[in-house]
Structure 1
Amino acid sequence: MSRPTAPGVPAPVWEPDPIEAKAARITEFAEFAARRTGVTHPDYTALWEWSVEDLPGFWSAVWDYFGILSGTPYDEVVDETPMPGTRWFPGTRVNYAEHALRADLPGPAIISVNEDGSEVRTSWSELRRQVGSVAAWLREQGVTAGDRVVGYLPNTTHAVVAFLATASIGAVWSACGQDYAASGAAARFTQLEPVVLFAADGYRWNGKAHDRRSEADELCALLPSLRHVVRLPVLGLPREPGDDAPWETVSGGADEPVFARLPFDAPLWVLFSSGTTGVPKGIVHGHGGVLLDHHRLLGLQLDLRPGERFLWYTTPNWMMWNIVVSALLLGGTIVLYDGSPVHPDPGRLWQLAAEHRAVLLGVSPGYLHGSTRAGIEPGREYDLSSLKVLGSTGAPLTAQPYLWVRDHVGPRVQVVSVTGGTDVVSAFAGSAPTTPVWPGEISAPMLGVAVDSWDAEGRSVVGEVGELVVTRPMPSMPVGFWNDPGHQRYRESYFDTYPGVWRHGDWVTRTPHGSLIVSGRSDATLNRHGVRLGSSDVYAALDSLPGIQETLVIGAELPDGGYWMPLFVVLDKETELDDALRTRIKEAVRTRASPRHVPDTIVSVPALPHTRTGKKMEVPVKRILQGVAVEKVAHRQAVDDFDALAYFSRFAPGATVDGAGARHA
């Protein structure tokens, strides 16, 4: 039933059904909170305002509502230390894996589907057995709380089991997908000095099996701290005899998992967010912060119930993989898919959602745009009667896909566009079963997240673009960065612009009716199809190519929802950018960095602009490519060669790409 809209407010494309909204978990939670405080919250906005004004009241209500298990009571919910030193639930002792494995349901815990269509279903009891067996093996090898265990793995059940086993004993997990070359994975893992590596023999992509045994061997050689390697037979390739442990042996025992209860902020995992320069930064999240936040995110905002099936297309090196695993916390069944989302045809993810009766399907904006271009009719071609929520993240979602979903998927499917990040392994804004959805907009801030839009002077702005900030602490904010004495790099990353306030690096507009519109990254992280990569990874892949003096790669979000990733190269005088060199460049990026981040076009330029300290001016160039005037992106005195910066205006919207055809239609 549609409600009248105020003058000037766009009409929602989706509105909550009153009966379904009343039955939603978030409604039950609001009533639960009201009984504790004596204050009722008549709508989502009122509930959100309370959740950010009374952080102790809100987060203690989340703790009790979801029955968080702790060996000891907490002394207080949150202390008064300003960000980033805020402490949550001091005195408690928790374990993420204990909560992920506490469900005892008749259906599967995990459904793992490979690109070739083969499928493995793992029951809750079998998942507990495998986790217990791997954990027992780790303890036998001397792995203890605080040790690092890493995975070079595709998106299969093996990765989930290895992670939960690691977490159960208090060791620290980190993973990297096998589309990364050994050098790229090592750039992350060497920082952690891991003692155990779980490495698969390969993965499937776009109809081909990719043998990664030699890459895994190279990775082992690059990690001198390793004491043990576990080999996983994802492709079933022959294994050379040696000292490495086979997965069949490691996971074949009958041990019940034993959970080490740890302080709330004990490290759970290290996720790597690709910065624009330097080595990737390792972001450390704690057991308690993830537990609490993901119960709130999945249980209240997405209304996931025990036994419901959750499918979000992701890879193990993206934070969405961690959120997918957290569906186990709510008793949800996770559907893992390892392969190309468009093989053998663009309807693959819709097909999977139908076959496995997914209640929630998560995709990228690029996949939705691709489905539109392919002329797919998911609502007619597949049985999506179980689908309630279609999630989208990784990049801003423009208005057109919302309308397309309504018309071609189903009018009662709620499009939930979310914005968040690896930094907090969560979301800042999204939707709930009780919030309307407007085309091209993110419905509302998440409960407990004091998100705002600030101008350069730190003033809150509505109706204009500003920096996305979080003005009050969240429990899932990082414990810190790995190898960051005094939290210096952590502070520089988020708190230098507005001291004591988190600046995330997104352009965002708060609308008068309470929604948010994200315009893209205000930094230069490459973010294609929701998979982020640092520009430094691309530069490193091209360092050894002869004839190239310098490179600049840009990922630019476009007004039509597209994403343009050009590579600009400065060549030696005797080198020509011909087809052969373009092929070598693309192959180097594909094999040494990531096949997902091969540039759309390669353009020769006479020079690159730098700051006075020698840093490539990636963000100013990106803004020029998005249509901002050169004079507004940088001061002349801040650039070593302003003419080199101004040169990029020829690649702005409506211009022509030198030697590579039209920049835009």
Structure 2
Amino acid sequence: MSQLLWKPSQQRVENTLLYHFICAQHRGFEEAEDAYDAVWQWSLDEPESFWRACWDFCGVVGDPGSSVIRYPERLIDTELFPQAQLNYAENLLARDIDGPALIFCSENGERHEWSRQDLLDKVSCLQQALKAEGVGRGDRVAGYLPNLPETVAAMLATTSLGAVWSSCSPDFGLSGLVDRFGQIEPKVLFTADGYCYNGKPFDSLNTVSALCDQVDSIAKVVVIPYANSQPDITALGSRGILLDSLLTDYTPQAVFYTRVSFRDPLFILFSSGTTGLPKCFVHSVGGTLLHHLKEHQLQGDIRPGDRMLYFTTCGWAMWNWQVSALASGASLVLFEGSPTFPDGYALAQLVQQENVTHFGTSAKYLDSLAKKNVRPIERFDFPHLRTLFSTGSPLSADGFVYVYDAWKSDVCLSSISGGTDVIGCFVGANPIGPVYAGQCQKRHLGQDVQVYNEAGEALLGEPGELVCRTAHAGMPL
């Protein structure tokens, strides 16, 4: 048996959103020996009841329609909420945020906040500008951007119009960009002029100029000054425009939301491209939203007023995942730069400074700190931190022990595992259950995750292939 490292108190259990969700079903799940397993089994046995309960409990803004599941006989054909009408951006912007909506911090110490009204105003002006450029439902807008507040605003403005967002981080080279954006033919490209990593500046505009020469669909390149306050964009020609110049003719108005179907496209993510061209994963509006709300509120216990810091770039699915936390009333702490600049305590200091409640990172990062004997617990106490997410690769048993020894003893360490193909998780967090060294906590609700051998037989206690036997919200289009 693996080492038990943490178990929530009964008071903490009863304060979680998951416990409230379980009690709200009025089925006595909370009296079961393992309440989580009881509600997990119900989510598989009665999927229509479960997904409708998720929609209602998580507060989805939109019309769900009268039907919850269509074509349940064959997993690949199954559709959730086939009559629903909703908008992703509307759901992220509908919540009142307790405190700033966005807090931006960079490796060089730059920090600024955007209130919810600041974010709404920027989205409004960007929405008007994109509409003037002819962007509408189903069109693609791309970002070649650092993890900036403007990146979030550009995505929300795009999706408010029913258009599709796709992004890569600025460390991607020209061939990687062409392989990705060349397939999806964006109308508009957002970029920063450059970025800084590990104390070194890097230019983005030369790469963007070469990209535009190869992707003819790009009619406008919007440049966000970041590395320089007055970047030279002459190399972009008539297509290039600075963000302030793009918005000069627009004033904030009420944001208009184009409601679309549950299965309309929202995000395009990409596989790594190790076997041929990167494969496009097209994720739906309703599926992404409902999948993330379930994972954030029920699995991760993200509540209004919480603060989420996920160390990620805009080229990783975790960027899309963490942005959705706005729909649960959380503030986002956006970090841009190297997580170990100037030293291994950089992110730990940020967690303390910004009162972060949910900190997400990679197993590789935690393992690297452990090897360097970085011990944040000796400098910080993290009074607000309740959950630490680890993903990207399996966190070793020693890595689990390291977190409880060197970070915080009273924290829910959730090793989450899923992928770009489901823009979220298959297994991971359970805020009402224990944490054992080297283990993901539970299979996620609504997902019949099993391990198969080569004969297609389910296994226990042996390695095999992970299989999800049920349709769920995170399935790509």
State the TM-score, normalized to the length of structure 2. 0.95
Aligned with residue 238 of structure 1, among 231, 238, 250: 231
**Is the 1:369–1:401 Cα contact (8 Å) retained in structure 2?**
yes
When structure 1 is superposed on structure 2, of 205-214 and 236-245 the one drifting more is 236-245
Residue aligning to 1:213? 205
CA–CA distance in structure 2, aligned partners of residues 275 and 442 of structure 1: 28
- Deviation track 1:397-439 (CA, whole Å, cap 9, x = no partner) reads 1101111111221210121101100000010000211111110
**Is the 1:79–1:88 Cα contact (8 Å) retained in structure 2?**
no
| Cα deviation, residue 256, structure 1 | 2.2
Bigger-Rg structure (1/2): 1
Residue aligning to 2:144? 152
**Is the 1:30–1:47 Cα contact (8 Å) retained in structure 2?**
yes
When structure 1 is superposed on structure 2, of 99-108 and 260-269 the one drifting more is 99-108
DSSP-derived class of the 1:270 partner: strand
Residue aligning to 2:189? 197
**Is the 2:64–2:81 Cα contact (8 Å) retained in structure 1?**
no
Residue aligning to 2:350? 352
Residue aligning to 1:14? 6
Q: Which 5+ residue runs of structure 1 have no aligned equivalent?
A: 1-8, 480-665
Aligned with residue 265 of structure 1, among 260, 263, 268: 263
Report 1 or 2 for greater relative contact order, CA contacts < 8 Å, sequence distance ≥ 6: 2
| Cα deviation, residue 366, structure 1 | 1.5
CA–CA distance in structure 2, aligned partners of residues 282 and 74 of structure 1: 31
1:456-605 equivalence runs, <5 A: 456-479=454-477
| Cα deviation, residue 375, structure 1 | 1.8
* 1:288 maps to 2:286: yes
CA–CA distance in structure 1, aligned partners of residues 66 and 271 of structure 2: 31
DSSP-derived class of the 1:84 partner: helix
**Is the 1:152–1:198 Cα contact (8 Å) retained in structure 2?**
yes
CA–CA distance in structure 1, aligned partners of residues 165 and 275 of structure 2: 24
CA–CA distance in structure 2, aligned partners of residues 464 and 71 of structure 1: 44
The one-letter code of the counterpart of 2:243 is W
Residue aligning to 2:416? 418
CA–CA distance in structure 1, aligned partners of residues 408 and 30 of structure 2: 34
Residue aligning to 1:127? 119
CA–CA distance in structure 1, aligned partners of residues 136 and 308 of structure 2: 32
Note closer, same or farther for the CA distance 1:18–1:274 as it changes in structure 2 (3 Å cut).
Answer: same
- Deviation track 1:275-332 (CA, whole Å, cap 9, x = no partner) reads 4311101100001001111111001111011121100100001000001101101010
| Cα deviation, residue 355, structure 1 | 0.9
| Cα deviation, residue 378, structure 1 | 0.8
Note closer, same or farther for the CA distance 1:39–1:379 as it changes in structure 2 (3 Å cut).
Answer: closer
| Cα deviation, residue 132, structure 1 | 1.0
CA–CA distance in structure 2, aligned partners of residues 418 and 462 of structure 1: 19
The one-letter code of the counterpart of 1:153 is L
| Cα deviation, residue 72, structure 1 | 5.9
The one-letter code of the counterpart of 1:219 is L
The one-letter code of the counterpart of 1:247 is L
Q: Which 5+ residue runs of structure 2 have no aligned equivalent?
A: none
Residue aligning to 2:360? 362
| Cα deviation, residue 94, structure 1 | 0.8
| Cα deviation, residue 383, structure 1 | 3.4
Following TM superposition, the consecutive aligned residue runs of length 4 or more in structure 1 with deviations greater than 4 angstroms are 37-41
| Cα deviation, residue 78, structure 1 | 4.1
CA–CA distance in structure 1, aligned partners of residues 62 and 100 of structure 2: 27
| Cα deviation, residue 67, structure 1 | 2.1
CA–CA distance in structure 1, aligned partners of residues 217 and 297 of structure 2: 39
| Cα deviation, residue 41, structure 1 | 6.0
| Cα deviation, residue 130, structure 1 | 0.5
| Cα deviation, residue 119, structure 1 | 1.1
DSSP-derived class of the 1:108 partner: coil
CA–CA distance in structure 2, aligned partners of residues 428 and 344 of structure 1: 35
Residue aligning to 1:650? none
* 1:314 maps to 2:312: yes
State the TM-score, normalized to the length of structure 1. 0.69
**Is the 1:346–1:370 Cα contact (8 Å) retained in structure 2?**
no
Note closer, same or farther for the CA distance 1:407–1:240 as it changes in structure 2 (3 Å cut).
Answer: closer
**Is the 1:264–1:289 Cα contact (8 Å) retained in structure 2?**
yes
DSSP-derived class of the 1:229 partner: strand
Residue aligning to 2:245? 249
The one-letter code of the counterpart of 1:336 is L
DSSP-derived class of the 1:314 partner: coil
The one-letter code of the counterpart of 2:186 is P
Residue aligning to 1:25? 17
Note closer, same or farther for the CA distance 1:388–1:344 as it changes in structure 2 (3 Å cut).
Answer: same
**Is the 1:108–1:333 Cα contact (8 Å) retained in structure 2?**
yes
Note closer, same or farther for the CA distance 1:411–1:213 as it changes in structure 2 (3 Å cut).
Answer: same
The one-letter code of the counterpart of 2:206 is S
CA–CA distance in structure 2, aligned partners of residues 139 and 268 of structure 1: 17
Residue aligning to 2:380? 382
Note closer, same or farther for the CA distance 1:303–1:170 as it changes in structure 2 (3 Å cut).
Answer: same
Residue aligning to 2:129? 137
CA–CA distance in structure 2, aligned partners of residues 251 and 356 of structure 1: 31
| Cα deviation, residue 238, structure 1 | 2.3
DSSP-derived class of the 1:120 partner: strand
Residue aligning to 1:327? 325
Percent of residue pairs bearing the same amino acid type: 37
Residue aligning to 1:341? 339
The one-letter code of the counterpart of 2:157 is A
- Deviation track 1:542-591 (CA, whole Å, cap 9, x = no partner) reads xxxxxxxxxxxxxxxxxxxxxxxxxxxxxxxxxxxxxxxxxxxxxxxxxx
**Is the 1:132–1:165 Cα contact (8 Å) retained in structure 2?**
yes
Residue aligning to 1:619? none
